[in-house]
Amino acid sequence: MTHDPKSFGKVAVLLGGTSAEREVSLMSGRGVLSALASRGVDAQAFDPAERELAELKHEGFARVFIALHGRHGEDGTVQGALELLGIPYTGSGVMASAIALDKVMTKRVWHAEGLPTPRWLSLGAGQRAREQLRAVPDALGLPLIVKPPHEGSSIGVTKVRGYSEMQDAVALAARYDDDVLCEEFIDGIELTCPVLGSGDAARALPVVRIDAPGGNYDFEHKYFSEDTGYRCPSGLAAAEEAAVQRLTLAAYRTLGCRGWGRADLMLRTDPARNDRALFLLELNTSPGMTSHSLVPMSARAAGISYEELCLELLADAGLDHRA
């Protein structure tokens, strides 16, 4: 699809922000800014950590590309402000953004809809006594994953292999969040699948398989390491690839997402179970757009360049409620 760059008007690329993922957002935003400018779009950087959002209206911005990650960017707060300002923006609306950033709430919705996700326990601030922490591995098994439910980019995440590691893992996650999510560990293949579009017109892009050293896909391996392997095409059998895409679309639509997103999943390969079952981990409503990011990688495999992807996302900018 051909887009007239002049039809977008003056575009703000929101980048940086105040979340723990600020540095990643700056990388994403700069990439988007460069791509849009290369196609003739009047795009300008706008960092909400340094400027009031009301300036978007005062300075005549016609639409916004959200390249923010994490809180105050991906959690419905910025989306709500843009709704009030009446400026169309990329990605999901207020409710879908808020739910998707909250991994516990996301799991509750998926579970209620019969979509597979690893078993979990949520620990509030008053549920971290030693005996309560020791009960978590009894319920979920070992190893298990401990993470802050409102952060991304693997920030504050620990793979716990023994009872003695629980206290430190929970303390680390609690540095970033009031609540702590403890999740069943799924032994298998890590996958991710992007989605473009909205409603019945949403389409899943090619699946990416992630091969991180030692299975440790942490912050360093996501954004800076050259040791992490990515396969796109994924190498999965055609029927399995299609199953991942179907589940991703179901997860995306169930949360009410629009514009674009990316689901992270596990394909269980535990020899003791021999079932190759799929599990949804989370859904990102403002995925990374850095040089190491997975949505651009998948889009390339589908014949969509980085620049074309940015234009398509910008063209799909909208509001939950038009005036």
pLDDT number for residue 318: 97
Any catalytic annotation for residue 177? no
Is 316:308 a contact under the CB 8 Å cutoff? no
Say whether 21 is catalytic.
yes
SS3 label, residue 215: helix
Which residue in the list 19, 21, 234, 306 is annotated as catalytic? 21
* Cβ-based neighbour number of residue 35 at 10 Å: 23
Helix, strand, coil fractions of the chain, as percent rounded to 5: 40, 20, 40
Cβ atoms of 278 and 263 closer than 8 Å:
no
Cα 117 from Cα 264, distance rounded (Å): 11
Sign of CA dihedral 129, 134, 138, 143: positive
Q: Judge whether 102 and 179 are in contact, CB under 8 Å.
A: no
Active-site residue, selected from the candidate residues 89, 176, 217, 223: 223
Catalytic annotation, pick one of 286, 288, 306, 312: 288
- Which is the catalytic residue, given 75, 151, 165, 264? 264
DSSP annotation string for 280-309: EEEEESS---STT-HHHHHHHHTT--HHHH
Whole-number pLDDT of residue 223: 45
Predicted pLDDT at 270: 87
To the nearest whole percent, how much of the chain has pLDDT over 90? 86
- Alpha-helical runs (H) found in the chain: 22-38, 54-58, 77-85, 94-101, 103-112, 130-140, 166-174, 219-223, 238-254, 294-301, 306-315
282 catalytically annotated: yes
Q: Say which amino acid occupies 157.
A: V
Question: One of 25, 28, 97, 153 is an active-site residue; which one?
Answer: 153
Tokens representing residue 79 in the block: 């989306």
All domains in the chain, ordered by first residue:
5-90 (3.40.50.20), 99-116+187-309 (3.30.470.20), 120-184 (3.30.1490.20)
Q: Please say if 190 is a catalytic residue.
A: no
34 is catalytic: no
Q: How many CB atoms lie within 10 A of CB 236?
A: 18
Q: What is the 3-state secondary structure (H, E, C) of 75-102?
A: CCHHHHHHHHHCCCECCCCHHHHHHHHC
Tell me the average confidence (pLDDT) per consecutive run of 10 residues in the chain, 323 residues long.
88 95 95 97 98 97 96 95 98 98 97 98 93 96 95 85 97 94 96 97 98 62 65 97 98 98 96 92 96 94 97 97 70
The residue assigned the tokens 């990643």 is 24
Closest by CA position to 10, among listed 249, 317, 244: 317
223 classed as catalytic: yes
216 carries an active-site annotation: no
Task: Please state whether the predicted TM-score (pTM) of the whole model is above 0.85.
Answer: yes
Reference 92, options 112, 117, 75; nearest CA is 75
Tens-place pLDDT, residues 75-119: 999 999 999 999 999 999 999 999 999 999 999 999 999 999 999
- Distance CA(70)–CA(91), nearest Å, equals 14
- Which letter, b or e, does each residue of 117-137 get, where b requires 16 or more Cβ atoms within 10 Å of its Cβ? bbebbbbeeeeeeeeebeebb
**Which residue, among 172, 168, 178, 182, has the nearest Cα to 137 in the 3D structure?**
182
pLDDT for position 18 = 92
Q: Check residue 215 and give its pLDDT.
A: 58
DSSP letter at 318?
B
97, 252, 262, 306: which is the annotated catalytic residue? 262
Cα distance between residue 167 and residue 160, in whole Å: 10
Catalytic residue among 75, 151, 183, 282, which? 282
Catalytic residue status for 288 = yes
Determine which one of 97, 284, 286, 298 is catalytic. 284
